[in-house]
Amino acid sequence: MIRFVVRRLLQMCVVVLVLSMLVFAWLRSLPGGPVSAILGERQTPERRAALEAALGLDQPIPVQYLRFLERAVQGNFGVSTKVLPGEDAFQVFLDRLPATIELSFFAMVLAIALGIPLGYVAARRRGSITDTGAVIFSLVGVAVPVFFTAFLLKYFFAVEWNLLPVSGRQSTGLDATRITGMFVLDGVLTREWDASWDALKHLILPALALATIPFAVIFRITRAAVLDVLDEDYVRTAEAKGLTAKVIRSRHVLRNAMLPVVTTIGLQIGGLLAGAVLTETVFSFRGVGDALATAFRDKDYPVLQVLILAAAVIYVLVNLLVDIAYAIIDPRIRTR
Amino acid sequence: MFDPFYATDGETFRVTRQIFEGLVGIEPGTAEIVPELATEWTPNDDGTEWTFTLRDDVKFQDGTDFNADAVCANFERMFDQNEAGQTAGEYWGYVMGSFKNDAENSLYQGCEATGDYEATISISGPTSGFPTMLSLASLSMQSPTAMEEGDANGIAAEGEGFSFPDYADNPVGTGPFTFGDYDEANGTITLERNDDYYGEKAGVSELVFRVIPDESTRRQELEAGSINGYDLPNPVDWQGLEDDGNSVEIRDAFNILYLGFNLDGANSQLKDPQVRQALYHALNRDQLVQTQLPEGATVATQFMPDTVSGYNTSLEPYAYDPDEAKRLLAEAGAEGMELTFAYPTEVSRPYMPDPEKIYEALRTDLEAVGIKVNVKTASWNGGYLDNVTAGRYDAYILGWTGDYDSPYNFIGTFFGNLKENDFGTKGMPWGKQLADDLKSADAVVDEDERAAAFEEINQQIMENYLPGLPISHSPPALVVGPGVDGVVPSPLTAEEFDSVTVDSGQ
């Protein structure tokens, strides 16, 4: 088992190394760059050259990459040029991460809390108005782009009806203690209920927008899985034995239908970051997605590199954990 | 990073301007300089030594004295920068030419405390920009004690960026607000009223800036009442915002949008002045300004707005005359000429709210006189500026917002550097003449004579050289909600918020 994990970790290092090369070369192959973003209209060839030399951008790309690598193994990923000038790029990622975790968590809770029960009900009442309505709703949820959903939610709930805040993570002037950087949790930990409630209000709309697609997917998978299970002999047997609906639902149908749903939830978590870029931008919700969008627009290379590599490392790690779990369940995998 | 010396963007200056003051300030609502930390200044006869009389009742926010020694400490600090500091200290390099290690090419030559409250600054030669350039936010006066304690000059290049010393996050000036804190998680910067300020105290006890990149979100936040105002409302929203009880404050235009030509590029037809003249007559700028630009925008007759000294009032805009354009093209043998014409995407600037629409209008006019237009686009930071600088387009739209009230800050920026300018004037027979004329006009000591010299140059540019076509001046706006009073819109977008009051009962 240990050998298996070590081998996989080594593989992961190679993957990340290759990826870092690709990201590095890709960014520098794009037109424009940080120098344009910094100088704007004031750029002349002379001023560009001076700034490029100061930032080491005049060196051949392989040389630049080796320098990056040399610093990176020492834990230094460079400093941000535009997102938060002067701040360590990795620190920018760490600063922004809690917001994205909080947002993704709430979005996922919403998607699961709505998707599974609705999927179950729709399957049990196949062909009814409830079922048809829910199916159409979920189709729309998948089809409509996240930024449009976000825009509509914002327009009605925040602007027209003034029920929830328009953007941001916390009301201006609210002086709250920060511990984890996840504001709702921080409010709970410090028993500053006002701060927690304020942060929660700021979370509702972005979380709803971000939850639309995972909700639709979870709903449809649940519905399909439940329908499959309902056709199984053991459900019919259970019904024939006269078991109560509650027992059939919890012991037989849901439990058996949950396997594909859980797998789907896992996959959806991976897709959340892509949705977060758009949602965070629309709601000025200062998380990793918002930083990624800003860094890309302003060609903040160090921050872009850190964010893309961090996303890759997280993805590879999650895969590794899944594989380890499989290996524990099925010993044959280890020897392959 | 709130040390204005190393800042390069308007968003940072918006904040630092409330904390810091310069030797000279700007009269609110205009681009004219007025006394600020210096009460008066006089040059010697040849304009190379300027003696500043300082206010004697000013303290920095850390309680230390503002005096002549502090002034010289500031100038010496700005002058004496390490390599990283020289690159980051953009504005100093831009207005002063160079730093201490290259002192002979520097406009700044030294500072001497000639009294407790009198400082003399020497410069290498007279220029229209001095002392006006001292109103730049980057050249503000900072507390020498705080700079020393916070190692203000300890900037270093690190990877592709600069790391800044502690001082950059704890800046100390003399202004009506002191730095409170920067909250990265919320994107807010909080300033507090400086109760020891020598002048009239600020009207609000706390001033909070919030970073909201998206324009429509800014508008929605104002409508929801969670902010009191925001910058650069979209011109199409102006009326709606006013109808909702907000007030849209329109700044005087201190910018120029122009059509630039690369005269030294692949398209040799552009070298023919008759062809360029034809292009000017082909463009219906009146209609462009009326349909694509905000209320108050005007058609430009030269490469600077009329508020700048040296503006030539006798110049008329080139008449829109497509027939004349066709005739000139035919005469020059350039019928059906091809033009690689570019505009930037993913950007809106004060002088061009929507580049694509402006481009479309220009393209339609050019095609109407038989020119074949090959469109090129790139995003602002994703290659557009690089390509313009590298001369990859025949024609392009670009603009400029003035840094301070000086004709050289406009036309000098465009044509003063013969070797390197976007217009490629080095390939033209008159390019050197124009650059030389600009430099000698800039060095005239007498203000009236200097203005006359620049007026003459403006006439030359528009009547004989035609390096590009000035299109328009657009007034950028800012909007404040009900109950907010005292915002004075500044053509330099250099609003000061100490005069602002907020009636929260509204």
Amino acid B377: pLDDT: 95
Contact B184 A301 (CB under 8 A): no
Q: Is B157 on the interface with A (CB under 8 A)?
A: yes
Q: Which of B286, B287, B400 is nearest to B349 (CA)?
A: B400
Q: Tally Cβ neighbours within 10 Å of residue B340.
A: 17
**What is residue B200's DSSP assignment?**
S
The set of residues, in sequence order, having a beta carbon less than 8 Å from that of A183 and lying 6+ positions away, is A102, A169, A170, A176, A195, A196, A198, A199, A202, B185
| Chain A contacts in chain B segment 415-434 (CB below 8 A) | 417, 420-421
Confidence band (pLDDT; 50, 70, 90) for A329? low
Q: Cβ–Cβ of A282/B214 closer than 8 Å?
A: yes
Contact B386/A at CB under 8 A: yes
Q: Is B333 on the interface with A (CB under 8 A)?
A: no
d(CA B271, CA B266): 10
Q: Measuring CA to CA, which residue among A111, A140, A145, A134 is closest to residue A224?
A: A134
Q: How far is B5 from chain A (nearest CA, A)?
A: 14
Query: What is the pLDDT averaged over residues A119-133?
Result: 90
Q: How confident is the model at residue B505 (pLDDT cuts 50, 70, 90)?
A: low
- The confidence score (pLDDT) of residue A97 equals 94
The two tokens of residue B160 are 């592709």
SS3 of B393-439: the string is CCEEEEEEECCCCCHHHHHHHHHCCCCCCCCCHHHCCCHHHHHHHHH
Q: Count Cβ atoms below 10 Å from residue B372 Cβ, excluding itself.
A: 11
For CA atoms A139, A143, A149, A150, give the dihedral sign.
positive
- Indicate if the pLDDT at residue A245 is higher than 80: no
Which residue in chain B is spatially nearest to A65 when comparing CA positions? Answer: B159
In this prediction, residues A183-209 reach a mean pLDDT of 95
pLDDT value at A267 more than 90: no
Q: Strand locations in B160-295, DSSP E?
A: 161-163, 177-183, 188-193, 206-210, 229-231, 247-250, 255-261
Q: Which residue has the tokens 């797998």?
A: A263
CA atoms within 13 A of residue A287's CA, in its CB half-sphere: 31
Q: Nearest C-alpha of chain B: how many angstroms from A317?
A: 27
What mean pLDDT, rounded, does chain B reach? 94
Domains detected in chain A:
1-82 (no CATH), 89-329 (1.10.3720.10)
For residue B124, give how far its alpha carbon lies from the nearest alpha carbon of chain A (Å).
22
Contacts of A294 in chain B (CB under 8 A): 213
Q: Shortest CB distance from A297 goes to which of B224, B226, B346?
A: B346
Contact B221/A84, CB-based, under 8 Å?
Answer: no
* Per-residue pLDDT tens digits for B189-238: 999 999 999 999 999 999 999 999 888 899 999 998 999 999 989 888 99
Instruction: Cis check for the bond before A165: say yes or no (omega within 30 of 0).
Output: no
CB contact under 8 A, B221 and A99: no
B394 CB burial (10 A radius; 0-12, 13-18, 19+)? buried
Cβ neighbours of B183 (radius 10 Å): 17
pLDDT at B498: 96
Q: Which residues of A are less than 8 Å from B187 in CB distance? A: 168, 284, 286
Query: Which chain B residue is nearest to residue A35, measuring alpha carbons?
Result: B381
Residue of B5, B96, B160 to mutate when probing chain A, most A C-beta within 10 A: B160
Q: Which residue of B has its CA nearest to A43?
A: B389
Q: Which residues contact B346 (CB under 8 A, 6 or more apart)?
A: A297, B379, B380, B382
> b or e along A164-181 (b: 16 or more beta carbons within 10 Å of the residue's beta carbon)?
bbbbbbbbbeeebeeeeb
Identify residue B298 by its one-letter amino acid code.
T
Rounded Cα distance, A315 and B366, in Å: 52
A53 vs chain B: nearest CA distance in angstroms? 9
- Sign of the alpha-carbon dihedral angle for B227, B231, B234, B238: positive
More confident residue, A267 or A105: A105
- Does residue B385 belong to the interface with chain A, where contact is any CB pair within 8 Å? yes
Please provide residue A285's backbone torsions phi and psi, each rounded to the nearest 5 degrees. -95, 110
Confidence of residue B334 (pLDDT cuts 50, 70, 90): very high
Place of tokens 């917001």: A99
Contact indicator for B488, B192 with CB cutoff of 8 Å = no
Residues 43-102 of B with CB under 8 A from A: 83-84, 87, 90, 93-94
The yes-or-no verdict on residue B125 having pLDDT over 90 is yes
pLDDT tens track for A129-171: 989 998 998 888 888 888 888 889 999 999 889 999 999 999 9
Q: Is the pLDDT of residue B447 over 80?
A: yes
The DSSP secondary-structure symbol of B461 reads I
Averaged confidence pLDDT in chain A: 88
Chain B hits for A36, Cβ within 8 Å: 380-386
Per-residue pLDDT tens for B251-304? 999 999 999 999 999 999 999 999 999 999 999 999 999 999 998 999 999 999
The answer to whether the CB atoms of B224 and A41 lie below 8 A apart is no
Structure tokens at A210: 């971000």
Q: Report yes or no: B71 and B111 within 8 Å, Cβ to Cβ.
A: yes
Residues of A in contact with B188 (CB under 8 A): 172
**Residue A24: closest CA among A70, A62, A73, A72:** A62
Query: B165: helix, coil or strand?
Result: coil
Longest dimension (CA), chain B: 72
Structural tokens at position A72: 């990176």
- For the cut 80, the answer to whether the pLDDT of residue A250 exceeds it is no
Query: What sign does the dihedral B345-B351-B354-B360 (CA atoms) show?
Result: negative
Task: Name the closest residue on chain B to residue A161, using Cα atoms.
Answer: B224
Q: Do the chains contact at A172 and B157, CB–CB below 8 Å?
A: no
Closest CA to B297 of B265, B251, B261: B251
Task: Choose from B94, B217, B381, B426 for mutation: most chain A CBs within 10 A.
Answer: B381
Cβ neighbours, 10 Å, residue B446: 11
Quick one: which of B193, B169, B173, B172 has its CA closest to B181?
Answer: B169
Q: Which of B408, B462, B459, B455 has the alpha carbon at shortest distance from B435?
A: B408
What number is the ipTM of this complex? 0.86
Say if the Cβ atoms of B186 and A159 lie within 8 Å.
Answer: no
pLDDT digits (tens, 9 = 90+) for B418-439: 988 999 999 899 999 999 999 9
Query: Is pLDDT of A82 > 80?
Result: yes
Query: How close does chain A come to B397, measured CA to CA in Å?
Result: 12
Tokens of B27: 């009269």
* Cβ–Cβ pairs < 8 A, chains A and B: 179
In 3D space, the residue among B360, B385, B361, B370 whose CA is nearest the CA of residue B339 turns out to be B370
Phi first, then psi: give them for residue B120, nearest 5 degrees: -115, 125
State the average pLDDT over residues A262-268.
78
Contacts of B157 in chain A (CB under 8 A): 54-56
Share of chain B above pLDDT 70, in %: 100
Which residues, in sequence order, are CB contacts of A24 under 8 Å at separation 6+? A61, A64, A65, A68, A305
Tell me how far apart the alpha carbons of residues A112 and B371 are, in angstroms, rounded to a whole number.
Answer: 60
Residues 6+ apart with CB under 8 A from B495: B14, B17, B28, B478, B487, B488, B489
CB contact under 8 A, A286 and B383: no
- φ/ψ of A273, rounded to 5, equals -60, -40
Better-scored residue on pLDDT, A13 or B50: B50
From chain B, the residues in CB contact with A183 under 8 A are: 185
Cβ-based contacts of B224 with chain A (< 8 Å)? 158-159, 162, 165-166
Dihedral angle, C-alpha B156, B162, B166, B168, nearest 10 ° = 120
DSSP B59: B
Interface touch B160/A43, C-beta < 8 Å? no
Residue A48 has pLDDT above 80, yes or no: yes
* CB environment B188-219: b (16+ within 10 A), e (fewer): bbbbbbbeebbeeebbbeebbbbebeebbbbb
HEC readout, chain A:
CHHHHHHHHHHHHHHHHHHHHHHHHHHHHCCCCHHHHHHHHHCCHHHHHHHHHHCCCCCCHHHHHHHHHHHHHCCCCCECCCCCCCCEHHHHHHHHHHHHHHHHHHHHHHHHHHHHHHHHHHHHCCCCHHHHHHHHHHHHHHHCCHHHHHHHHHHHHHHHCCCCCCCCCCCCCCCCCCCCCCHHHHHHHCCCHHHHHHHHHHHHHHHHHHHHHHHHHHHHHHHHHHHHHHCCHHHHHHHHCCCCHHHHHHHHHHHHHHHHHHHHHHHHHHHHHHHHHHHHHHCCCCCHHHHHHHHHHCCCHHHHHHHHHHHHHHHHHHHHHHHHHHHHHCCHHHHC
Mean pLDDT of all residues in A39-55: 85
- For residue B93, which residues of chain A lie inside 8 Å, CB to CB? 47
Q: CB distance B157–A56 less than 8 Å? A: yes
Burial class, A74, CB count within 10 angstroms (exposed 0-12 / middle 13-18 / buried 19+): exposed
Task: Determine, for residues B385 and A294 on separate chains, whether the beta-carbon distance falls below 8 Å.
Answer: no
Quote the radius of gyration of chain B (alpha carbons, Å).
24
Predicted pLDDT of residue A315:
78
Q: Residues of chain B with pLDDT > 90: what percent?
A: 87
Tell me if B186 and A43 make a contact (CB, 8 A cut-off): no
Inform me whether the pLDDT recorded for B506 exceeds 60: no
Q: For A159-163, A331-335, B370-374, which range has the lowest pLDDT when averaged over its residues? A: A331-335
Residues whose CB falls within 8 Å of the CB of residue B320, separated by 6 or more in sequence, listed in order: B281, B283, B284, B285, B286, B287
Q: What is the pLDDT of residue B314?
A: 96
Q: Which residues pair with B65 in a beta bridge?
A: B59
- Test A166 with B221 for CB contact under 8 angstroms: yes
* B residues 251-270 lying closer than 8 A (beta carbon) to A: none
State whether A166 and B187 contact (CB < 8 Å): no
At A253 the pLDDT is 80
Which chain A residue is nearest to residue B87, measuring alpha carbons? A51
Has residue B173 got a pLDDT over 70?
yes
Instruction: Check whether A331 has a pLDDT greater than 70.
Output: no
DSSP-derived secondary structure letter, B381: I
Beta carbons of B123 and A43 less than 8 angstroms apart: no
Q: Does B187 touch chain A (CB under 8 A)?
A: yes
Partner-chain contact A51 B87, CB within 8 Å: yes
Taking contacts as CB-CB distances below 8 angstroms, the residues of chain A near B417 are 44, 46
pLDDT band at A332 (very low <50, low <70, confident <90, very high): low
CB within 8 Å: B187 and A286: yes
Give the Cβ contact number of residue A274 at 10 Å: 14
